[in-house]
Structure 1
Amino acid sequence: MGKLDGRVIVITGAARGQGEQEARLFVAEGARVVLGDVLAERGAALATELGERQARFVRLDVAVEEDWAALVEVAQEAFGKVDGLVNNAGIVRFNALVDTPLEEFQQVVSVNQTGCFLGMRTVAPRIAAAGGGTIVNTASYAGLTGMAFVGAYAAAKHAVVGLTRVAALELAAQKIRVNALCPGAVDTPMVDEGALDPSADPEEGARIVAELCRKRVPLGRIGRPEEVARLALFLTGEDSSYITGQPFVIDGGWLAGESPA
């Protein structure tokens, strides 16, 4: 018996990184998954690999209402219901606050904050119609504290934590639990590419992030996407049945304080 037997879960940003690992783990635990991402080729390939009985891919720009409407219709037609959502899609841009162009700020907020809002607003009624379920929003370590050079990202992720708490209060009567993941640095393409100018070498970005984690993270390393996926599984399954409205930090101890030299 899997921990998610019979569940139908929507996962955004599912073509790679944390979302991909969540999709793989959820299917291994018995779920059927609907994968949303703007990376259509990679997302479709993952759905094919997972199998038609277990997965569907829908091209999804999380900031577009019409894309969300299309996704839930595909989910309903393919699997008959939706009873879970993992709002995983996100982007990061590194810039000093006073140097951040308005367009860049709005882009980050559009994906990370508006996308989360639209996901909950669209999918929650379907979850309620299925008799209840779970929503897991991906916030961040930076959604609970300040972090230099990621002002837009931190603002959006603070908002995700707030939206999570509001949704938990409003949706509890419909038997929907809502919680937030708050990862620190995790070894995903988003982090590697965001560490530098987008035109730079992602391998150099990965090196910079790894060195930062070696110095700042008590456990001395960057996180792995499969580790975040296991926390998403916990919050989606019955093991967390009395938990709602909470942010869960998974950061190797970074938020705990300053490590000794």
Structure 2
Amino acid sequence: MWKYANVSVRGTSHAKNGTPCQDYSLSRTFEGPGGTRVLLAAASDGAGSASRSDEGSELACTLFADAVGSHFARGGQVEELTREFCESWLGRFQRAVRARAAKAGCRSREFACTFLAAVICEGAAVFIQIGDGAIVYAEKEDEYMWAFWPQQGEYENMTYFATQSSAKKFLQHSLHTERTYGEVAVFTDGLQRLALHYQTRSAYAPFFRPFFSVLRRLEEEDHTRYSDSLRAFLDSDRVNERTDDDKTLVLATWQREREESS
């Protein structure tokens, strides 16, 4: 019922400096109560000035996926992914970062990263964010809305990170019930200027429409080819002319079983 893909691409500025892609993303499904399929789409953007932020972004996403997977393995529901659940994950993440930093002989700041995640099933959705980037979703085809506007720090190019001691203060959490969001996109700040319209503070539908149009029609055996095409687009001259940062895009679309059998 879920079709999804995720791609993280190194920015041209990172390529010039010889630094790795500091973004990380994942998309997967879990079995929820009653056999429902639950989607997790997550992304994290490592701070460019932090030497181990690529490790931090991967750790943030994988630890959250582990926590969500354990939750559903115990019979939990999407509605039970409360703010307290997310704060508990954040505490575990920060402890893991401190342990890695102590072993490496550096500060936790070197693992600095943002975090975004969407957990969705039929009738319920939870959105979580710390920092910039955005989550865009649609209840009806081609009607795209954002969950949280990208967080900006004191200055324009600053934001907040999951590694900060004050991260709990900036953690944004929202729960939506009795609605089915059939499409969702999660992306890091490298794509903000392409995917969001800042003057109207809205999601820029022409950016998302082509991706979802193809994804809806995709056959399972074409997923790898779709991811390759998505990667090629994010690394194209057309995109790199507008942003030199790392770029991550996670896309997912939900279809009813009756549509598959028709």
Structure-2-length-normalised TM-score: 0.30
**What TM-score do you get using the length of structure 1 for normalisation?**
0.30
**Hey, which of these two has a bigger chunk of helix by percent?**
1
Larger fraction in strand: 2
